[in-house]
Amino acid sequence: MSVTIAVPATSANLGIGYDCLGMAVSLYSRFTFDRAEKLTITGCPEKYRNEDNLVYRSFVLALEHWGEEPFPIAIDIDTSIPVSRGLGSSSTCTVAGIMGAAALTGRIVGRAEAVSIATQMEGHPDNVAPAIMGSLVCSFTPEGALPHCIRYDVNPHLKFITIIPPYEVKTESARKIVPKEVSLSTAVWQMGRISGLTRGLESGDVELIAAACEDKLQEPYRKTLIPDYEDVRRICLDGGACTMWISGSGSTMMAVTADGLVAESLRARLASLYPTFEVHVLECDTKGVRISYDA
């Protein structure tokens, strides 16, 4: 029996929610696991077809977490999520490894336990939590405790125009450029707008989303690492989107509208102007990670 784990892409931060907000979107990676006589990995570049593969490392770490011995498996990777573009590609691998280990050993794992294990592996929950739970998630981790994850339903009318340049922004560079300290007024600015953004995404109120999504903490600095940011933002806002944010550390950008026709028109225009970019109209994924079995 083989098992397939489907994991959605995620957009972290959503502009104003630096390191605490994340949302699952309708772009997926699929990982098929089978017991085997030796480790075999297909569907990825040759240099990742070994024990250093993140999916396999997560598989082994999950088994060790449960006190079980690793065993050889075959993994096939089929992904639509580009690597190192700010859409949670590493988190999909981490989540898939954990759930693959659970499925092949018959272990029942709830979402809270899966988030806890994945957070220990990733170091933070902002991408793994929505990848596991689906929808919009606000996460925080008390010192010495497990992460708290608050899930919000996103209005189904909202569309997310996802613009993926052919270049990456290294997470290390994106973190380095963000100031380590901010003023009290900036902290207050952020807190109120996080509340407004989560409510706007729940209700589908694009005016509230636009008013709330004005970040002062990280986007003013990170946008300098994305050469096309200003032009893409202007096109999106002039074309009817209510806002645009950098997805994760970039280079992906994501614009928001409640009008499906506006979304498709912007997708076509951006694809025409930037033929080397990937441009998708995505929705919020509400289910998170899925597991299916094949006899």
Q: What is the pLDDT of residues 171-193, one digit of tens each?
A: 888 899 999 999 999 999 999 99
**Beta-sheet strands, E only, within 80-215:** 136-140, 148-152, 159-164
* 16 CB neighbour count, 10 Å cutoff: 27
Confidence of residue 36 (pLDDT cuts 50, 70, 90): very high
Intervals of CATH 3.30.230.10 along the chain: 2-152+285-294
Q: b/e per residue, 193-222, with b = 16+ CB within 10 A?
A: bbebbbebbbeebbebbbebbebbbbbeeb
Identify whether the C-beta of residue 25 lies closer than 8 Å to the C-beta of residue 285.
yes
Residue 142: per-residue pLDDT: 81
Residue 220: per-residue pLDDT: 94
Provide the annotated binding site. 82-92
As a CATH number, domain 2-152+285-294 is 3.30.230.10
Residue 259 and residue 71: Cα distance in Å, rounded?
49
Intervals of CATH 3.30.70.890 along the chain: 159-282
Tell the residue number behind the tokens 């092949």, with chain if given: 104
Q: Could you give the 3-state DSSP secondary structure of residue 248? A: coil
What tens digit of pLDDT does each residue of 51-97 get? Answer: 999 999 999 999 999 999 999 999 999 999 998 899 999 999 999 99
What tens digit of pLDDT does each residue of 38-51 get? Answer: 999 999 888 889 99
Provide the annotated binding site for ATP. 82-92
Q: b/e per residue, 26-57, with b = 16+ CB within 10 A?
A: bbbbbbbbbeeeebebeebeeebbeeebbbbe
What tens digit of pLDDT does each residue of 90-116 get? Answer: 999 999 999 999 999 999 999 989 999
CATH number 3.30.70.890 given to 159-282:
yes
What tens digit of pLDDT does each residue of 218-231 get? Answer: 999 999 999 999 99
